[in-house]
Amino acid sequence: MAEVLNERSQNILDAIVKDYIISAEPVGSRAISRKHNFNLSPASVRNVMADLEEMGLLCSPHTSSGRIPTGKGFKYYIDTLLEVRDLKPEEKEQLSHSYRFQNMRMEDIMQEVGRVLSGLSQYTGLVMAPKFISTVFRQIEFIRLSHGRVLMIYVSETGLVQNKVIEADSSLTTRDLEQIGNYLNEELNGLSIQEVRNKLKRELQEDRVHYDRLKKQALNLSCSALQDEVEDQLYVAGASLMLGQPEFATPEQMQRLIETFESKKQLLELLDRSQSAQGVQIFIGSESSHVDLEGCSLITSTFSNQKGAIGTLGVIGPVRMNYSQVVPIVDFTAQLVSRVLDRELE
Amino acid sequence: MAEVLNERSQNILDAIVKDYIISAEPVGSRAISRKHNFNLSPASVRNVMADLEEMGLLCSPHTSSGRIPTGKGFKYYIDTLLEVRDLKPEEKEQLSHSYRFQNMRMEDIMQEVGRVLSGLSQYTGLVMAPKFISTVFRQIEFIRLSHGRVLMIYVSETGLVQNKVIEADSSLTTRDLEQIGNYLNEELNGLSIQEVRNKLKRELQEDRVHYDRLKKQALNLSCSALQDEVEDQLYVAGASLMLGQPEFATPEQMQRLIETFESKKQLLELLDRSQSAQGVQIFIGSESSHVDLEGCSLITSTFSNQKGAIGTLGVIGPVRMNYSQVVPIVDFTAQLVSRVLDRELE
DNA sequence: GTTAGCACTCTATATCGACGAGTGCTAATT
DNA sequence: AATTAGCACTCGTCGATATAGAGTGCTAAC
């Protein structure tokens, strides 16, 4: 699959991609031959470029213009040529100070991370909060609303608060709900949601449950409270920065981009995918199949605490993104957030 | 201040505004004279238009183009000429069915309202959730995090959940926090936040408090929990629809608009202002002083339940908005939401 | 008071040519 | 055999120019 290029071709591809990342404009043979001292004439460079074009790594917008890298070209660059340097200690130090996490709710932390990611990269920051199902049970409360509707408030180990309205037997009193809460808090403390579900299922099947009305109701209630997925929380920051990029300069492209950001569905799908793997991942718009993010690239990394609450954060920018700068930022930020989440556990 | 126009001038202004609302293009004398049967020649219409221009109600983009209404012209139209018809019962019925509020958390309701407002109007929907301070106390919980940090979860009468991290004496145990919660829930139930604050202040000043360590800590804790303002919650839906409007067709305008929507600060300021008055209010971009929403108009109304939790919702669109269509939608939606909030109280 | 007529203004659109950047090919060079 | 200089060719950009059309303001006639 991955074609092998000789060194000269690699160097030239590298140079073209780097130039294009800066200028956003087609790169000509003359510029390459002059700026980088390969000691090659433009004509020789042109020959190589023609080869690269044939391989599908470059293309030219029209007959007589320079070349721009294709999606495949960028992929090759990222996989083979990109050198991601580690941040220096002082850079890490500085980066840590960009984030102010003191006395913040989970929501605020997620939002702040998005904002800072966007600010540092000058692209759009994305954060997906840890999924409900990946969290560890800490506390649950039930509050009676009207007509047999109950407000459930769930708090995870890390202080993630989620709430949900559920239907319940309208005969349940405030007192009942309190007892149910106490019972569950004692029973379920420290279990992962997955374990909680298993435990609940097991207990519901035991026969003797049917003799204890309250216990049965407790189990039913917590089942509907914890069974269904709670909607994913996605934070998007700095969407307007994307509009400054030349690749989205036309009104139609802008509108499409903002629509995509607004609906969040496609973004969630992408972030979901990256959650399966570890470390930094890069998606290139054109290759990412049915997702309609043409011209965009996504750099993501997952964060998690020791108990396994997993979230994803990243930066979305034009394919022509400054990967060597953004990748370490995303990487280190993910580590930073993981550490902060662990700090929440006393 | 408000100038008085004779009937003919009014009719012509009315016609120009209505035409402009539809076409978004300068309106010429010929079009007015033909489409509306005033039995006036274009020349006569031109004379009137010249007068209206002198009064500052119209302007022409350049020497030889039709006229467009100025901000002042729109204001006159809204104040004097706009006829807002009430919705017919079947329209109300239909509108009610657009909203699906079943088993929704407060957050979801707010979001849904924004979405539907945007969908119905084809402009951008805004909803500001009831402010923390305007709510009525229902329940409070404290959860111990690390290093003397405590997660406070507050639930209002209407099921609005807000949480916040506060610093606290690190010697407080989980048991203490539970007792403090119980104590507060008993003492404060049913009071408005304002009353709660007063009560807390009063009790803190009583001398004998100092002999009861736990009570003192309870008061201190709830003071810092309930004293400061919690961040306002603003929901923006359908921002991309604004980008389809011809007044925001250039990339620069698009970017500015999205920036304004993204920062939310200016929008909050505007919505705040409208919260002081009752009923539907209309702000016109150019007049709304220092807020940078040129070319935009805002139609708002407040909603509230019987216990006074007040929020604001509305639609933001180009000044050239279809007021006669959108105003009743905003108005009725606010009533609808108020009713839904009251339903939450059993 | 109203309107027909007309000169005038300004925008939008299309057309044209010059310019420049860049290519691909070929033949000469190393 | 690889490299490169030279050259014809292509194509997009920019500015100038012309044209059509919409709309106005003014004046004189109704």
Q: Which of A55, A81, A107 is the last residue of a domain?
A: A81
Q: What is the dihedral of CA A73, A77, A78, A81, to 10 degrees?
A: 170
Within a domain: B257:
yes
Which of A227, A242, A260 terminates a domain? The answer is: A227
Convert the pLDDT of each residue in A245-259 to its tens digit: 999 999 989 999 999
Provide the shortest C-alpha distance from residue B103 to chain A (in Å): 5
Is the per-residue pLDDT at A224 higher than 90? Answer: no
- Confirm whether A2 is domain-assigned: no
CA distance linking residue B323 with residue B69, whole number of Å: 14
Are residues A325 and A290 both part of a single domain? yes
Which residues lie near nucleic chain C, judged by CB under 7 A? Answer: A 26-31, 42-43, 46, 49-50, 53, 60, 63-67; B 39-41, 43-44, 47, 62-65
**Two tokens, residue A124:** 């759009």
**Same-domain check for residues B161 and B178:** yes
pLDDT at residue number B49 = 97
Q: What is the CATH number of the domain that holds B23?
A: 1.10.10.10
Q: Within a domain: residue A15? A: yes
A332 or B226: which carries more pLDDT confidence? A332
Percentage of the residues of chain B whose pLDDT score is greater than 90: 57
| Protein-covered nucleotides on strand C (Cβ within 7 A) | 2-5, 8-11, 20-26
Domain range for residue B45?
7-81
Are B241 and B340 in the same domain? Answer: yes
Q: State the DSSP string of B205-220.
A: HSGGGGG-HHHHHHHH
- Please state the domain count of chain B: 3
How far is Cα B318 from Cα B123, in angstroms, rounded to an integer?
8
For residue B37, the model assigns a pLDDT of: 81
CATH number of the domain within which B253 lies: 3.30.450.40
Confidence at residue B1, expressed as pLDDT on a 0 to 100 scale: 47
Q: How far apart are CA B92 and CA B331, in angstroms?
A: 11
B251 and B117 within one domain: yes
Highest mean predicted confidence (pLDDT) among A272-281, B20-29, B208-217: B20-29
Please give the distance of CA B107 from its chain centroid, rounded to a whole number.
Answer: 15
B145: chain A residues, CB-CB within 8 Å: 159, 344, 346
Say yes or no to pLDDT of A1 above 50: no
- Give the C-alpha separation, B294 to B259, whole Å: 13
Is B346 within 8 Å of A145 when comparing Cβ atoms? Answer: yes
Question: Around B179, how many Cα atoms within 13 Å sit in the side-chain half-sphere?
Answer: 11
What per-residue confidence (pLDDT) applies to B287? 63
Tell me: pLDDT of B136 over 70.
yes
Mean local confidence (pLDDT), B287-310: 84
Neighbours of B147 (CB within 10 A): 10
Over residues A40-50, mean pLDDT: 95
Question: In this model, does residue B301 exceed pLDDT 50?
Answer: yes
Say whether both A174 and A264 belong to one domain. no
Residues 6+ apart with CB under 8 A from B308: B134, B136, B192
In Å, what is the CA distance from B16 to each residue of A1, B12, B50, B59, B320? 64, 6, 13, 11, 11
Q: Are residues B115 and B140 in the same domain?
A: no
Q: Are A119 and A241 in contact (CB under 8 A)?
A: no
Query: Is residue B226 within 8 Å of residue B196, measured between CB atoms?
Result: yes
Judge if B249 and B102 occupy the same domain.
Answer: yes
Residue B116 and residue B138 in one domain: no
- Model pLDDT, residue A286: 65
Whole-number Å distance between alpha carbons of A287 and B187: 60
* Position B288 confidence tier, pLDDT thresholds 50, 70, 90: low
pLDDT bin (cut points 50, 70, 90) of residue A345 is low
Q: What is the CATH number of the domain that holds B180?
A: 3.30.390.60
pLDDT for res A323: 97
Tell which of A81, A99, A119 closes a domain.
Answer: A81
Nucleotide nearest to A38 (CA to C1'): D3
Judged against a pLDDT cut of 90, whether residue A312 lies above it is answered with yes
The whole-number average pLDDT for the span A215-229 is 80
Q: Is the CB of A250 under 7 A from strand D?
A: no
Asked if residue A159 is part of any domain, the answer here is yes
